[in-house]
Amino acid sequence: MFFEPSIERHKNPERKGQIEVICGSMFSGKTEELIRRLNRAKIARQKVEIFKPSVDKRYHEEDVVSHNETSIRSTPVNFADDILLLSGDCDVVGIDEVQFFDEQIVSVAQKLANKGKRVILAGLDMDFEGMPFEPMPKLMAIAEYVTKVHAICMKCGDLAAFSFRLSDSKQKVMLGEKDAYEARCRKCFYEDKK
Ligand SMILES: [Zn+2]
């Protein structure tokens, strides 16, 4: 369980920002964890803004929607740089599906945190081949806190860190994921990998 930084720290005009990364495979509850932290920040009366890449059009245009339908209002943006312009005077910036952003997201996260904002980024850490999904590795390196959440292997019931693609497509970004992927543990992922 992740414990938030002291609220007092964020009331201080000289507050320090920070970067938090929530990573994991598909179906691991990344978005639920992002929403949990953002809702708690709202309860603390902090100003929260949420963004997601406009490529993610699986569900509703303006909501960050997780697989279990918990949702929160968000702004779809085309480029990482747009977040700098749109985040204004908020205290906390949440960004979902970070792996779909361009490389600029790394400097954007740095700039926001250096301005004193708490930046929470959620995304897939590995692609369907089990390789690091840029720009997540860089964000994990510059973050103060990294939380890896796990799904349950749909083959054996163990903890799962991999996203197994059921179809033969080699396309990296393939949406409409619910039917196309399974969460898998290491053993079950590499046993069936094509
Ligand atoms: Zn397994």
**Which tens digits make up the pLDDT trace of 156-174?**
999 999 999 988 766 665 5
156 has binding-site annotation: yes
Mean pLDDT of 62-74: 62
Query: Does 7 score more than 90 pLDDT?
Result: no
Phi first, then psi, for residue 4 (nearest 5°) are: -70, 155
Please state, as a whole number, how many other Cβ atoms lie within 10 Å of the Cβ of residue 56: 18
How would residue 179 be classed by pLDDT, with cut points 50, 70 and 90? confident
- What is the whole-number distance in angstroms between the Cα of residue 27 and the centre of ligand 1? 14
- What is the whole-number distance in angstroms between the Cα of residue 138 and the centre of ligand 1? 28
Q: Check residue 103 and report its DSSP letter.
A: T
Q: CA dihedral in degrees (55, 59, 62, 68; nearest 10)? A: -120
- Residues of the chain with pLDDT > 90: what percent? 72
Query: Does 134 score more than 90 pLDDT?
Result: yes
Predicted pLDDT at 74:
87
Please give the Cα distance from 62 to 171 (Å, whole number): 25
| Residues β-bridged to residue 64 | 72
> Residues 47-56: pLDDT tens digits?
999 999 997 5
The average confidence (pLDDT) of the chain is: 87
23 has binding-site annotation: no
- What is the whole-number distance in angstroms between the Cα of residue 130 and the centre of ligand 1? 14
Query: Does 38 score more than 90 pLDDT?
Result: yes
Strands of the chain (E only): list them: 18-24, 48-53, 63-65, 71-73, 75-77, 92-95, 118-124, 145-149, 151-152, 159-160, 162-165, 181-184
181 has binding-site annotation: yes
Mean pLDDT of 73-84: 92
Query: Does 59 score more than 60 pLDDT?
Result: no
154 has binding-site annotation: no
User: Which residues form the catalytic set?
Assistant: 97
Query: Does 57 score more than 70 pLDDT?
Result: no
- According to CATH, the superfamily of the domain at 13-150 is P-loop containing nucleotide triphosphate hydrolases (3.40.50.300)
- What is the whole-number distance in angstroms between the Cα of residue 61 and the centre of ligand 1? 34
